[in-house]
Structure 1
C-alpha cells in the first residue's frame, strides 16, 4: 500500500497533491510539528535517515526527496501521465522546471530564510542570495506569461514541484506576490483544480492555501 507521510506545513503537501491528481488509492498519515521548535516529531524523523519531509512508504520501500518521490509515483503508479515523453515539445521545459524547483529556487529561499533567522539579513551573503531570489522570481513571472503551466501546455510534475515554493513556503517568510501578476493568475488556476483543493483540505485542514 502506498502511504504518504505528510508533515504539516511542509514540502510533503506536493505528494498529496500528486496522488490526488493521479486519482490514486493511497494512505495519508499526517504528523504535527513539535510545539517547542516547529520541527518534525521524532516519529517522523525515524522514517528516513534525513529526518525531513517528504517521505513515502510503498510496501518495504522507504523513499525520501520530493523529486524522487514524484518520479517514482508518476512512473510506477500513474502510468507516467504527468510527465511528457522525450519526443514531446514540452519535454525539455518540463525537465528544467522540475529540477530547478528544489535544485536552485527552493535552495535560494532556504538560504534567505536562514540568513534572516541568523540575523545576517544585511550581510554581503544576503545581497548575493537576494539577487538570486529576485532573478528567480523574474524567471517564474516570465515563464507563466508564455505558458499556462511550468511544464508547458499541460500540468506536469514540474507544477507539483513548483507550486509549494510559490504558496505554502511563504508561510515561513513575509513575501508578497503582488508584483507578479502572472504568478497570481497561475495560482488562481491551480487553486481551482479539484485535485489541489482535495489535497490541501486533507494535508492542511486548518490553513487556507496561500494563493494570493
Structure 2
C-alpha cells in the first residue's frame, strides 16, 4: 500500500520548482544538476529524489504548472471582464496587466519556458507547445475584439506577436525594485496599445 502524501508535499514541490527554475536560469538546464538543485534547496540529493525522479521530471512539472497558470490567467481575465462589464479594450488591458503581474514573480519560470522547452521529451514538449499556442490564440482573440477595424486575418499574427514582443522578454531587462516597476510598465504597454507613442 502506498504511503499517503503529506499535506505539505505540494508546497515542497512548489519550493523545489522555484529553486530549480533559478538554477536553470543561472546555469542553464543542461549545466544544472540534481546535486546543484538539492544544494540550492538546502537538502540532500536523496531527499530531492523523494519528490522528483530526475531533472527532466522537474523541468516538465515546472513548465506544466506554469503553462496551466498562464491559461488560468486568461480564463480569470475573461470572467473578470464579464463580471465588471468591461469594454473589449479594457478587457485586453486587464489581460496585459495580469500577465505582467505574473511575470514579475515568475521570471525564472518564464526563462525556462522560453529556453528549455526544447529539452522535454516529444510528447511533453508538444503538450507545452500546444498550451503556448493556446495562449497566443487567446491574445489574438482579445486583440481582434478590442480593435476589430485594425486586426485582420492578414496582420493578426504580426500584431499579436508584436504585443508579446513587448511583454514576453521583460525578464531580460525589467527588474523588481528597478527604475520602472512591472505595474508602471504595464501602464506603458496599455498606452502604446491605445495611442501608439503619440501623446495626442
Q: TM-score range by the shorter chain?
A: 0.3 to 0.5
Give the number of the structure whose residues are more often helix, by fraction: 2
- Higher-Rg structure is 2
Q: TM-score, normalised by structure 2?
A: 0.33
